[in-house]
């Protein structure tokens, strides 16, 4: 497939004059991946500046270059100078692949926590309503016939529009996707036409990138500002930021909350370690649910998924069946029974708020005399200020804490642990340099009255250390000590 350059850039505001109809057969933002006939977009990233690699892109056959106006000298190919190459990448990617999102029903889900759970629940509902649905996010690409590649929570615009075009060509009609604050800030989804947007919650996270909670909020708010008047925003009013997101929406809003007073809420609810049961009401509609998911936060997630489904006109039976058939979400409050009789709960929680919610739920459901052992760590090269807060939450609920590596990346493990230990007020912790040793120790010591809580990595199958992803899986180790299915 080729596209004339002058048609490809019609949506851009650029400095130079007429653009020739140079044939473009692909779009690339990494110079080493350029092939003959590609359009190379030079992006100034956090690690490197793509403008420095223009010579390499030209050597590899780039047919044109989009830049930020930096003086690159006389180039042998057309150069289009724009104010924001990231935004340009979104615009030309959508154009190159034929604006596939305009032919799909796309739901975007954003929030600090709960995105994957809401996406999985809504995907299940739509599938039970016989819609061919794809789910994109932390778990990868979940679509029949497509490889389950795990990259970023939200892909770059080139990959995203290519994927949407492929899904459309294969008969998919509905897309449910997680939308990260990074993706919104970096214009990865600026040219995706969303029909529905869902807000789960907003708590401190990614402040190494956004710097302030206000900046973080405004990044998330972009999703709701991008909606057409024909779209719908689903806002969780149990979250204190819900009212602010409601005001930011350019589309009609459907509100949710556990108690009455919003558009979608629980008329009846029972919530314990066996699951969430009750009746959800929305106007005259009543939806009975019997979910094996646990925790008040998951009750909120269920409401968000139901509200989104209702706006699409999904029948009550499909909504109920879709919710109830989700017996577990990968890496989210997954429960295992050990051969010793003990219990393991594994969750992807990696923020202080998520720790508070997950640990409070487990503690309140544990039996008197149960010993709670928590295995956790903090990622390197990320929010340093949240590390002691996570330790403070840990010691509030756990009887003992095993502090371990969790993707230290390029940061010294001792420095990470020192930040964590500042949050402990008493000696309830042991520091391990190896996560596997800590996990195996806890599992081998666990008796029937032990609950081992493993937080942070979920179903990740690696440890990221010094730019290398080393194979490692909490899940596989837990399975060694657990009852077979």
Last residue of a domain, which of 25, 48, 83? 83
Q: What long-range pairs does 68-75 form, CB within 8 A, spacing at least 24? A: 68/42, 68/44, 69/15, 70/42
> Is 116 in the same domain as 242?
yes
**Backbone phi, then psi, for 394, in 5-degree steps?**
-60, -50
In order, the DSSP letters of 279-322 are EEEETTEEEEEEE---SHHHHHHHHHHHHHHHHTT--HHHHHHH
Give a yes or no: residue 352 inside a domain. Answer: yes
> Is 143 in the same domain as 292?
yes
Give a yes or no: residue 395 inside a domain. Answer: yes
Tokens of 196: 């529905």
First-to-last alpha carbon distance for the chain, in angstroms, is 48
Please tell me the predicted confidence (pLDDT) of residue 205. Answer: 64
Q: Which helix (H) or strand (E) holds 275?
A: strand 275-282
Tokens of 293: 């998911």
Q: Which helix (H) or strand (E) holds 66?
A: strand 64-67
> Is 297 in the same domain as 389?
no
The range of the structural domain enclosing residue 458 comes to 334-480
Last residue of a domain, which of 29, 49, 83? 83
CATH number at residue 26: 3.40.1390.10
> Is 27 in the same domain as 61?
yes
Give a yes or no: residue 94 inside a domain. Answer: no
> Is 78 in the same domain as 130?
no
d(CA 300, CA 265): 9
> Is 78 in the same domain as 150?
no
- Which residues of the chain fall below pLDDT 70? 150-152, 204-211, 484-485
Three-class secondary structure of residue 78 per DSSP: coil
* Helix orientation angle between 387-397 and 352-365, rounded to the nearest 10 degrees: 10
CATH number at residue 138: 3.40.1190.10
Give a yes or no: residue 90 inside a domain. Answer: no
- Alpha-carbon torsion 337, 339, 342, 344, what sign? negative
Instruction: Give yes or no for a contact between 398 and 374, defined as CB atoms under 8 angstroms apart.
Output: yes
DSSP β-bridge partners for residue 114: none
CATH number at residue 426: 3.90.190.20
Tokens of 53: 């690699």
Q: How far is CA 88 from CA 22, 172, 437, in A?
A: 17, 27, 48
DSSP secondary structure code for residue 370 in this structure: P
Give a yes or no: residue 68 inside a domain. Answer: yes
> Is 136 in the same domain as 245?
yes
Q: How far is CA 317 from CA 3, 32, 306, 462, in A?
A: 46, 51, 11, 39
> Is 318 in the same domain as 348?
no
> What are the helix (H) ranges across 5-84?
5-8, 54-59
Total number of domains in the chain: 3
**How many alpha carbons fall within 13 Å on the CB side of residue 250?**
12
> Is 60 in the same domain as 195?
no
Please tell me the predicted confidence (pLDDT) of residue 433. Answer: 96
Give a yes or no: residue 32 inside a domain. Answer: yes
Three-class secondary structure of residue 60 per DSSP: coil
> Is 18 in the same domain as 117?
no
Three-class secondary structure of residue 344 per DSSP: strand
Please tell me the predicted confidence (pLDDT) of residue 154. Answer: 79
Give a yes or no: residue 89 inside a domain. Answer: no
> Is 312 in the same domain as 370?
no
Please tell me the predicted confidence (pLDDT) of residue 332. Answer: 86
Please tell me the predicted confidence (pLDDT) of residue 100. Answer: 97
Please tell me the predicted confidence (pLDDT) of residue 151. Answer: 64
d(CA 77, CA 308): 47
> Is 181 in the same domain as 282?
yes
**Backbone phi, then psi, for 384, in 5-degree steps?**
-75, -30
Burial of 57 (0-12, 13-18, 19+ CB in 10 A): buried
Last residue of a domain, which of 83, 116, 131? 83
């Amino acid at each position: 497939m080729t596209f004339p350059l002058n048609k490809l850039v019609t949506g851009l505001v650029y400095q130079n004059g007429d653009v020739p109809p140079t044939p473009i057969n692909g779009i690339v933002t990494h110079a080493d991946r350029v092939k003959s006939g590609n359009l190379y977009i030079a992006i100034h990233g956090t690690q490197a500046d793509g403008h420095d690699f223009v010579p390499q892109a030209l050597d590899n056959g780039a047919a044109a270059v989009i830049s930020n106006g930096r003086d690159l000298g006389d180039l042998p190919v057309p150069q289009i100078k724009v104010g924001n190459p990231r935004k340009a990448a979104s615009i030309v990617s959508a154009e190159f692949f034929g604006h596939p999102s305009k032919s799909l029903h796309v739901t975007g889900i954003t929030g600090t926590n709960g995105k994957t759970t809401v996406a999985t629940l809504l995907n299940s509902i739509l599938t039970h309503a016989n819609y061919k649905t794809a789910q994109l996010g932390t778990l990868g690409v979940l679509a029949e016939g497509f490889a389950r590649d795990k990259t970023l929570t939200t892909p770059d615009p080139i990959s995203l529009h290519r994927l949407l075009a492929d899904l459309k060509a294969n008969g998919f009609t509905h897309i449910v996707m997680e939308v990260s604050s990074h993706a919104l800030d970096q214009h990865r989804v600026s040219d995706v036409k969303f029909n529905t947007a869902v807000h789960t919650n907003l708590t401190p996270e990614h402040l190494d990138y956004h710097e302030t909670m206000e900046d973080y909020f405004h990044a998330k708010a972009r999703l709701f500002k991008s909606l057409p008047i024909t779209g719908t925003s689903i806002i969780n009013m149990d979250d204190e930021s819900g009212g602010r997101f409601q005001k930011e929406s350019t589309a009609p809003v459907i509100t949710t909350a556990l108690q009455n007073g919003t558009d979608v809420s629980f008329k009846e609810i029972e919530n314990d370690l066996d699951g969430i049961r009750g009746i959800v009401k929305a106007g005259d509609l009543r939806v009975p649910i019997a979910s094996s998911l646990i925790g008040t936060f998951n009750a909120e997630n269920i409401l968000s998924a139901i509200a989104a489904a209702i706006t699409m006109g999904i029948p009550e039976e499909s909504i109920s069946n879709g919710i109830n058939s989700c017996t577990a979400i990968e890496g989210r409050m997954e429960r295992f029974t050990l051969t010793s009789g003990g219990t393991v709960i594994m969750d992807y929680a990696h923020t202080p708020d998520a720790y508070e919610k997950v640990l409070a739920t487990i503690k309140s459901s544990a039996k008197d005399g149960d010993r709670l052992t928590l295995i956790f760590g903090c990622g390197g090269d990320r929010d340093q200020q949240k590390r002691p807060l996570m330790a403070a939450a840990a010691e509030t609920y756990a009887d003992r804490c095993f502090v371990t590596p969790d993707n230290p990346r390029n940061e010294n493990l001792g420095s990470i642990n020192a930040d964590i230990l500042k949050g402990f007020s008493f000696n309830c912790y042991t520091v391990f340099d190896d996560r596997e040793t800590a996990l195996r120790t806890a599992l081998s010591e666990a008796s029937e009255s032990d609950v081992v809580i493993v937080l942070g990595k979920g179903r990740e199958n690696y440890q990221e250390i010094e730019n290398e992803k080393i194979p490692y899986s909490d899940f596989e180790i837990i399975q060694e000590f657990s009852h077979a299915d």
